[in-house]
């Protein structure tokens, strides 16, 4: 997980520290992201991820795009065109590095 985080931050140019919390407990979402000013926080829920079509790494990378978006395009829509373009860019870069990443943005699911 640490290598994926470092690779995503490097590819995207995320500057602030990133805290990741992994919980077993169920939530209606697979993950939550929020900006705490000096750092980004991502909370992942394993029970919900197991029911999602995407794997843990893909969902984590998806949330790291939100961190990039907060730093670089804070007024853009959560899953709008800016996010979609960055998701495609990151997905291609991660696949080149050998990650099993697919569907960083899924139309109709990511709203």
Q: The pTM is what?
A: 0.94
Q: What's the chain's length in residues?
A: 111
Q: Give the sheet arrangement for strand 18-23, strand by strand.
A: 18-23, 40-45, 31-35
Task: Give the tens place of pLDDT for each residue, 72-90.
Answer: 999 999 999 999 999 999 9
Task: Give the tens place of pLDDT for each residue, 38-83.
Answer: 999 999 999 888 777 799 999 999 999 999 999 999 999 999 999 9
What is the residue extent of each domain of the chain? 2-96
Three-class SS of 44-101: EEHHHHHHCCCCHHHHHHHHHHHHHHHHHCCCCCCCCHHHHHHHHHHHHHHHHCCCCC
**Would you place residue 91 in the very low, low, confident or very high pLDDT band (cuts 50, 70, 90)?**
very high
pLDDT of residue 20: 97
Look-up: residue for tokens 């991660």? 94
CATH architecture assignment, domain 2-96: 2-Layer Sandwich (3.30)
């Amino acid at each position: 997980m640490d290598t994926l985080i470092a690779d995503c931050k490097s590819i995207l140019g995320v500057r602030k520290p990133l805290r990741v919390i992994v919980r077993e407990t169920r939530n209606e979402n697979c993950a939550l992201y929020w900006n705490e000013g000096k750092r980004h926080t991502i909370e992942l829920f394993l029970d919900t991820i197991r029911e999602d079509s995407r794997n843990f790494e893909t969902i984590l990378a998806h949330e790291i795009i939100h961190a990039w978006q907060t730093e670089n395009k804070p007024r853009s829509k959560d899953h709008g065109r800016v996010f979609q373009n960055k998701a495609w860019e990151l997905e291609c870069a991660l696949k080149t590095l050998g990650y099993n990443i697919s569907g960083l943005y899924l139309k109709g699911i990511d709203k």
